[in-house]
Every structure is written in C-alpha cells, then in structure tokens.
C-alpha cells in the first residue's frame, strides 16, 4: 500500500511528538500520538526504501544487540534496521564478555555505549526479569549520560521481554491497517488471539500479551481464548480491559477456540506457556535445577497433549467472517505434518496465508528503525525530509 510521502511528513511534523532521549519498552507506556508517530516513520522509511532513497541518518555509530534468547526474524530485522539508518551492529555475546566474571549491568551498559546510538534487547524467557533488566540498563545509561561518561544517551529498544513484544505487535498492526485500508477501518473488527497446540513447552507470553494490549487501543473487538490454566499475566489483562473501554472496542476472555473464531475478521492462533508455569520455570533456572526443569517440561508437554484439538484448520477457518478471516502469526509456526506431526496450524491453512505472514514479518525492520529514529532524533520528520529531498539513490 503506497503512501503520500509529503502528506505523511506533514502529518508527522504536526503531531508535535517529542520522543528524543526516551526508550521504547512497552506499547502501553506510549501515548496514542507517540504510537502514531512510530507508525508514520515506519511507513515513510518503507516507502522511501522501496523508492531507492538512502536513509542513512547516522553517519557513524554503533547499535548493540543483546539477544538473551534465540531469534531469527527479530535478530535480522534489528540488524537490517540499523544498517538502513547507517549504524554498524555489534552483538553483545554475554559469554564472551566480562559479565561472566561478575561485571554489573550498570558497568556493562556504560562500557558498550561510548559511541552507541541504540541498544536492542531481547529477554523474554523469565517472568519478572526481562522488562526489569531493560529498565536497569536504561537507568544505567541515564546515570552515565548525566555524569558525562557518555556523549550521547543510547535509546533502548525492547526486542521482546516477558511482558510485551512491541516490534512484533506493531508490525502486525501495520499489516492489518494496510490490509483493511486504514486505522479508521479497524474499529469494530474482531480479532481472535487464541492459544494453539504445540509439541513444545516454554513459549513466551509476550506475543499474545502484546497483541491484546495494542489491538484494544484501536476500537477492535478482541477475544482472547485459551484452555483453562493457560492464563496470561494479570497485569496485561487489566491493560487490555482498560484500553477496550477507552477506545470503544471490547475485550473478552473465553475457553473456546471456536467461539473466538466465530465471525472473526482476524485470527492469531499461537502457543504459549501458562504464566504460572513460566514463574516455576524461572525459579528452577535461578536454582540451576536441571532435574526439576526436566520434570516441569514432562508435566507441561503432557498438559499440552490434552489440547491437540486447539489447531487452526480449514474447518475452524470456515467459522470466521465470511469463511475468509485473515490469519496472522509471528512465525515460526508449528505446522502440522510439515514442521511437526501435529501443531498450531494445518498445512492447508498456513500455505493459503503463508505469503501474508511473510509480508506481516516484513514490517518489522521498519518498525524497529522507526523506534530508533523517533527516540534518537529531535525532529524525525525534518531528518527524513532532508534525506528524501537530497535526491540521492541507494543503489546506482
């Protein structure tokens, strides 16, 4: 979906949003205008990149990636976003750093930031830990900048924590927005955020939490569905409820995949572990209790196996709006008879929507780049406009 560059630049300028010197950690900490600014920047960057315009707004500088969990899409999206903006990427491998020798978070944060413009952190596996760690890094950077240790204060971008996955949910939102022709067309649309069966355990809760907390801000009717016991963190449920009330949408929790799919415009079937399980897992990991972790895994896999009927298949998709609801997934999906014997989605359904899910993922580099631009530039609209009007070509 092409955009009017001049109109979008004017709209961004007129928002009057100032995110300079701030971080992007949780969507629900951001105002509606701040979210809109990031969306506008992301679409401008995507459009200009497609038009072969170079967007290297940084001539020098590092972007540090700290992935405390495995990743494909987010890792490469972060690297390509940094490269797009002109930043070199340096991965912080904690096993090769002095962290292993007892270096504090406060010290590490400053030592990696002397010429750094942004720090992307993924820390999603431990309940009560990931978001807390990101805040600790942010506070250390504040201290370093205030005391003249750092010439500039790097922006911290949440690449997934225990609470939220903002780069994913905002990529999802841009894909939805363009699919339906604008944010104004999302009001009243039903989205089913449902648990789905997986032959593995321990999947983070931050994707469903991020989705319910963001989509409820746009007047959508959000139904969260999962088997009994697969609850999300209570604080995120409260955020979704408050957002729905404020936006004029609705938020409902059920224990039926069929109920959630009924007349849904969008479905998002995704496996996750119950938050109580993740709390137990975190405690066992802290104790380095490997036998306990093995027992927990065995218990959870057996629990999952009781819900193999929670699969997104053609029959359930027929219950969606006109039988043609939009299927979303953050990827990788557990595809029945493809990536596993039985999983979240049938091969038939996934193949039908496969290209769409790839396009959905394709917004992520631009969302990440937009977050970095918004948090490091005092007037992103002017910076982007100058790059656009320079008349240069990215590839000659």
Tokens representing 354? 């496969």
Do 11 and 129 lie in one domain? The reply is: yes
> pLDDT value at position 93?
81
Structural domain includes residue 396: no
Q: What angle do CA 330, 274, 337 make, to 5 degrees?
A: 50
- The pLDDT confidence band at residue 68, using thresholds 50, 70 and 90, is confident
Section 362-371 average pLDDT: 98
Do 117 and 240 lie in one domain? The reply is: no
Portion of the chain with pLDDT greater than 90, in percent: 90
pLDDT tens profile 71-89? 889 999 999 999 999 999 9
Do 148 and 182 lie in one domain? The reply is: no
Q: Which of 118-127, 136-145, 155-164 has the lowest mean pLDDT?
A: 118-127
Structural domain includes residue 333: yes
Do 93 and 224 lie in one domain? The reply is: no
Helices (H), ranges, 86-121 = 105-111
Structural domain includes residue 394: no
Q: Say which DSSP state 335 is in.
A: B
Section 363-370 average pLDDT: 98
- Whether residue 159 is predicted with pLDDT greater than 70 in this model: the reply is yes
pLDDT tens profile 325-341? 999 999 999 999 999 99
Is 85:58 a contact under the CB 8 Å cutoff? yes
Q: What angle do CA 323, 352, 369 make, to 5 degrees?
A: 110
> pLDDT value at position 100?
64
- Whether residue 368 is predicted with pLDDT greater than 90 in this model: the reply is yes
- Backbone dihedral region of 312: left (phi > 0), alpha (psi from -120 to 50 degrees) or beta? beta
> pLDDT value at position 101?
66
Q: How many domains does the chain have?
A: 2
Is 327:356 a contact under the CB 8 Å cutoff? yes
Cα separations in angstroms, 337 against 163, 180, 346, 347: 32, 32, 8, 7
pLDDT tens profile 167-204? 999 999 999 999 999 999 999 999 999 999 999 988 99
Tell the burial category of 313 from Cβ atoms under 10 Å away from its Cβ (0-12, 13-18, 19+). middle
Name the nearest CA neighbour of 134 among 68, 81, 206, 212. 68
> pLDDT value at position 181?
96
Cα separations in angstroms, 342 against 86, 199, 200, 315, 355: 43, 7, 11, 16, 22
Section 122-136 average pLDDT: 93
Do 204 and 101 lie in one domain? The reply is: no
Do 343 and 368 lie in one domain? The reply is: no
Do 191 and 340 lie in one domain? The reply is: yes
Helix (H, G, I), strand (E, B) or coil at 123: strand
Is 199:334 a contact under the CB 8 Å cutoff? yes
Say which CATH number the domain at 222 has: 3.40.50.1370
Cβ within 8 Å of residue 140, ≥6 positions away? 105, 106, 107, 108, 109, 110
Name the nearest CA neighbour of 275 among 195, 173, 331, 157. 195
Section 248-259 average pLDDT: 98
What domain range is 257 assigned to? Answer: 167-361
Structural domain includes residue 142: yes
> pLDDT value at position 191?
98
Do 218 and 98 lie in one domain? The reply is: no
* Cα–Cα distance, 57 to 156 (Å, whole number): 18
Portion of the chain with pLDDT greater than 70, in percent: 98
- The pLDDT confidence band at residue 120, using thresholds 50, 70 and 90, is very high
Q: What is the mean pLDDT of the chain?
A: 95
- Whether residue 95 is predicted with pLDDT greater than 90 in this model: the reply is no
Helices (H), ranges, the chain = 5-15, 32-50, 73-85, 105-111, 130-146, 166-179, 206-215, 234-247, 257-261, 275-286, 290-305, 314-317, 347-362, 364-376, 380-389
Do 90 and 214 lie in one domain? The reply is: no
Predicted TM-score (pTM) of this structure: 0.96
> pLDDT value at position 394?
92
> pLDDT value at position 125?
82
Rounded (10°) angle between helices 206-215 and 234-247? 20
> pLDDT value at position 1?
67
Structural domain includes residue 265: yes
């Amino acid at each position: 979906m092409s955009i009017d560059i001049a109109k979008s630049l004017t709209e961004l300028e007129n928002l009057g949003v100032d995110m300079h010197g701030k971080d992007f950690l949780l969507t629900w900490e951001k105002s509606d205008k701040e979210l809109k600014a990031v969306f506008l920047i992301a679409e401008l960057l995507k459009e200009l990149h497609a038009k072969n315009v170079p967007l290297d707004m940084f001539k020098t500088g590092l972007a540090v990636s700290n992935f405390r969990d495995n990743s494909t899409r987010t890792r490469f999206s972060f690297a390509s976003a940094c490269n797009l903006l002109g930043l070199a990427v340096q991965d912080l491998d904690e096993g090769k750093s002095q962290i292993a020798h007892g270096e504090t978070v406060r010290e590490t944060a400053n030592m990696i930031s002397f010429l750094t413009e942004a720090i992307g952190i993924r820390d999603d596996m431990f309940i009560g830990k990931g978001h807390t760690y990101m805040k600790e890094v942010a506070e250390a950077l504040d201290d370093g900048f205030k005391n003249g240790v750092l010439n500039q204060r790097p922006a911290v971008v949440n690449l997934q924590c225990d609470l939220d996955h903002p780069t994913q949910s905002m990529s999802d939102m841009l894909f939805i927005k363009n699919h339906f022709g604008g944010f104004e067309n999302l009001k009243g649309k039903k989205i089913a955020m449902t648990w789905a069966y997986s032959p593995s355990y321990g999947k983070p809760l931050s994707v469903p939490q991020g989705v319910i907390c963001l989509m409820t801000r746009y007047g959508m009717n959000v139904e969260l569905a999962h088997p009994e016991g697969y609850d999300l963190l209570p604080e995120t449920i409260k955020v979704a409820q408050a957002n729905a009330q404020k936006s004029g949408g609705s938020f409902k929790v059920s224990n039926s995949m069929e109920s959630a799919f009924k007349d849904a415009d969008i479905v998002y079937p995704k496996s996750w572990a119950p938050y109580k399980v993740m709390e137990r897992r975190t405690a066992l990991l802290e104790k380095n209790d490997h036998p306990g972790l093995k027992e927990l895994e065995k218990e959870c896999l057996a629990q999952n196996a009781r819900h193999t009927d929670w699969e997104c298949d053609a029959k359930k998709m027929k219950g969606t709006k006109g039988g043609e609801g939009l299927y979303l997934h953050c990827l990788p999906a557990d595809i029945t008879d493809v990536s596993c014997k039985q999983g979240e989605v049938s091969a038939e359904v996934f193949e039908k929507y496969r290209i769409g899910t790839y396009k959905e993922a394709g917004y992520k580099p631009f969302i990440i780049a937009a977050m970095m631009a918004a948090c490091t530039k005092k007037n992103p609209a002017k910076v982007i406009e100058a790059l656009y009007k320079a008349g240069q070509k990215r590839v000659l």
